[in-house]
Structure 1
Amino acid sequence: MSGEGKRGDWSSLKLPRFSSTLLKGQKNDYNDAEAIAEAALRPNLHFVREKTQNELDLQACHRVRDRLVSRRTATINQIRAFLIEQGIAVRTGARALRNSLFEILKNRADEISSRMSNLIVGLYEDWLWLDERIETITGEIEEISRQEANCQRLMSIPGVGPLISTGMVAAIGAGDAFERGRDFGAWLGLVPRQYSTGGKTILGRISKHGSRHLRTLFIQAAKVILMRPQNWERYSFGPWLKAAAERLHHNKLATALANKLARIAWSVLRYGKKFDSQDREALAV
């Protein structure tokens, strides 16, 4: 109970799940309420403040944008599927498909029926509309990041931009729900899943608990940093990153770096100081 209680908002607390062991008798509304009330009185259960209206609005922007991005990906995949059914394969990448789509429809007009061609054109128009909606919401998020002081401090961290900074502020506010950076990393699901027994510690894959959206953004930021090894020396975690790159697989290295970035981000947010690329004490949190 204590591990989960330190990990963020009510959506991740899942109080009914923790109170199920305290349920007396059969399941009904009265017994459920009594078990929840008893679980809430436990001293090691941590609660967090309610989100402000601005945080709720910002969180809604991220959720809508994430849904639109998923719909755009589904639309692009459906266009590719229809073309493959016609025996036409296009190299990977949205730009390649966009640049060659109408040329394909023109050159293969004798192979593709007019009905199929109209369906594909309609999907392309949906694609353009989704692009416009995503750009509009992204612009709103970027505008908020320029006005929010916490977001400005977070964006001083390598790889952290408007999406991560605003997503983090919307998810955890000032970060006071966590006692330390490693608790935030655990809430994001960036730490190994543990199954230990008999004094033997067994670590598996990352737990993937908490916010999937925010975890994905941090891993993407880590991969961007890994693409530019010439810049590693500029960061305080450069020596650690160089040593880790020699012994870890690329995906494991990206996950480890994402965890480190998340811990640094929590420290910046919690203590209200910008990230100093040469401040090695910041990594001790």
Structure 2
Amino acid sequence: MKSKTLGDTDEITVIGVDIGKETFHLVGFDHAGERVLRKKIKRLALKATFEKLPRCVVGMEACMSAHFVSRMLRELGFEPRIIPAIYVKPFNKGQKNDYNDAEAIAEAAMRPNLRTVAEKSQDQLDLQALHRVRSRLVARRTATINQIRAFLIEQGITVRAGRHALQSSFEAILENRRAEISPRMRTTLLGLYGDWLWVDERIKAISSEIEEIGRSEENSANIMTIPGIGPLISTAIVAAIGQGDVFDRGRDFAAWVGLVPRQFSTGGRTILGRISKRGNGYLRMLLVQAANVILMRPHRWDALGFEPWLRGAVDRMPHNKAAVALANKLARTAWSVLHYGSTYEPNRNKPLGAI
């Protein structure tokens, strides 16, 4: 099929954009589903190109710079839709290339009931970046500690589990085991220990910045009124979903985080398996950690308003399953706090399962 040129694109109703590092590929369809645009442009020419196009729906896959492109197109009067990659894949036809990807994105964008990704503001992206940097640094610190332990074990030296146990005894080990550790190995260990301390300081600085944002940002402060949720989780939720407008109810948010059972239902039979683990794995991990902290303090369940439901859940479920169930409730409560702009108020006469 011969595509029309940019001068003949007045009938465009939807455009699919395949976002690349340097180039963008555009494929547009008219109201009849006929392809009327097929064009490759440089990233710097994106705004100038779209200024010449009729205002329409513009679909793009959720990826780096998608939110930036979405905000720019919205300012120009377009209707951008950021689509999860998993929803675009069924529309791919033929071999994989940039034009086929853009065409699949355009066809997915035409679906009326397709669930899209909420457009993030610059503040949300900044906050999300802080969390990602902190997560990477924590992983780097863990890797450094594990390497120090491995080198010590090779010298026949073992230290009890825990980061603080190794940190408090490291210098004493190097001093007391001087005869067992070669000078070169000692230098290597001291270098790794220096890396550890530097990463620790970076983690503390970023954590302090996140805590300050959590206290000053209204939505984060409201979420922090929920038991077990501090600045790290509250800011992570705000960075991920803003005010939660993309979800119709709290259980949809919990499902997006991946805290609901995976379904294998057919023939009228409902078969539920393990949790789906879809969506934001970082946020899911934080919520499960918060639930485990609450489970460790049963004497406080009544004061927090968790006693009726949580006591029954613990009695009939294994510990990990109860922790995931509580994390699900925390996620639903957080969405409710965001959606209604309120704070958490425990109601001891109302079971948590009714939230």
Could you tell me the TM-score, scaled by structure 2's length?
0.74
1:66-105 matches, within 5 Å, as 66-105=135-174
1:22-171 matches, within 5 Å, as 22-171=91-240
CA RMSD in angstroms comes to 1.9
The amino acid that maps onto 2:254 is G
How many Å apart are 1:35 and its aligned residue? 2.6
The amino acid that maps onto 2:316 is R
**Is 1:10 matched with 2:79?**
no
Match of 2:34 in 1: none
How many Å apart are 1:50 and its aligned residue? 2.0
Q: Are 1:184 and 1:262, in contact at CA under 8 Å, matched by a contact in 2?
A: yes
How many Å apart are 1:26 and its aligned residue? 4.7
Residues 15 and 91 of structure 1, relative CA distance in 2, 3 Å threshold: closer
Match of 2:330 in 1: 261
How many Å apart are 1:40 and its aligned residue? 0.7
1:174-213 matches, within 5 Å, as 174-213=243-282
1:139-175 CA-to-partner distances (Å, cap 9, x unmatched) read 1101111110001100000000000000000000000
Q: Are 1:175 and 1:270, in contact at CA under 8 Å, matched by a contact in 2?
A: yes
The amino acid that maps onto 1:270 is H
SS at match of 1:246: helix
How many Å apart are 1:193 and its aligned residue? 1.1
Residues 24 and 223 of structure 1, relative CA distance in 2, 3 Å threshold: closer
The amino acid that maps onto 1:225 is I
How many Å apart are 1:41 and its aligned residue? 1.2
**Is 1:284 matched with 2:354?**
yes
Aligned equivalents of 1:247 and 1:118: distance in 2?
A: 54
Residues 283 and 174 of structure 1, relative CA distance in 2, 3 Å threshold: farther
The amino acid that maps onto 1:120 is L
Q: Are 2:236 and 2:283, in contact at CA under 8 Å, matched by a contact in 1?
A: yes
SS at match of 2:112: coil
Q: Are 2:137 and 2:203, in contact at CA under 8 Å, matched by a contact in 1?
A: yes
How many Å apart are 1:102 and its aligned residue? 1.3
Q: Are 1:159 and 1:224, in contact at CA under 8 Å, matched by a contact in 2?
A: yes
Aligned equivalents of 1:72 and 1:44: distance in 2?
A: 44
Residues 282 and 179 of structure 1, relative CA distance in 2, 3 Å threshold: farther
1:13-32 CA-to-partner distances (Å, cap 9, x unmatched) read 75444333334455444443
SS at match of 2:174: helix
Residues 207 and 123 of structure 1, relative CA distance in 2, 3 Å threshold: same
Match of 2:314 in 1: 245
In structure 1, stretches of 5+ residues that fail to align are 1-8
Aligned equivalents of 1:27 and 1:104: distance in 2?
A: 56
1:66-89 CA-to-partner distances (Å, cap 9, x unmatched) read 000000000111100001111111
Q: Are 2:309 and 2:353, in contact at CA under 8 Å, matched by a contact in 1?
A: no
Aligned equivalents of 1:182 and 1:49: distance in 2?
A: 17
Q: Are 2:84 and 2:116, in contact at CA under 8 Å, matched by a contact in 1?
A: no
Report which of the two has the higher share of helix: 1
Aligned equivalents of 1:98 and 1:30: distance in 2?
A: 54
In structure 2, stretches of 5+ residues that fail to align are 1-60, 64-81
Aligned length: 276
Match of 2:16 in 1: none
Q: Are 1:15 and 1:36, in contact at CA under 8 Å, matched by a contact in 2?
A: no
How many Å apart are 1:196 and its aligned residue? 1.4
How many Å apart are 1:47 and its aligned residue? 3.0
Report which of the two has the higher share of strand: 2
How many Å apart are 1:49 and its aligned residue? 4.0
Match of 1:4 in 2: none
Q: Are 1:19 and 1:35, in contact at CA under 8 Å, matched by a contact in 2?
A: yes
Residues 70 and 155 of structure 1, relative CA distance in 2, 3 Å threshold: same
SS at match of 2:243: coil
The amino acid that maps onto 2:214 is S
- Ranked by relative contact order (alpha carbons within 8 Å, sequence separation 6 or more), the top structure is 1
Aligned equivalents of 1:278 and 1:254: distance in 2?
A: 21
The amino acid that maps onto 1:10 is A
SS at match of 2:316: coil
Percent of aligned pairs sharing the same letter? 63
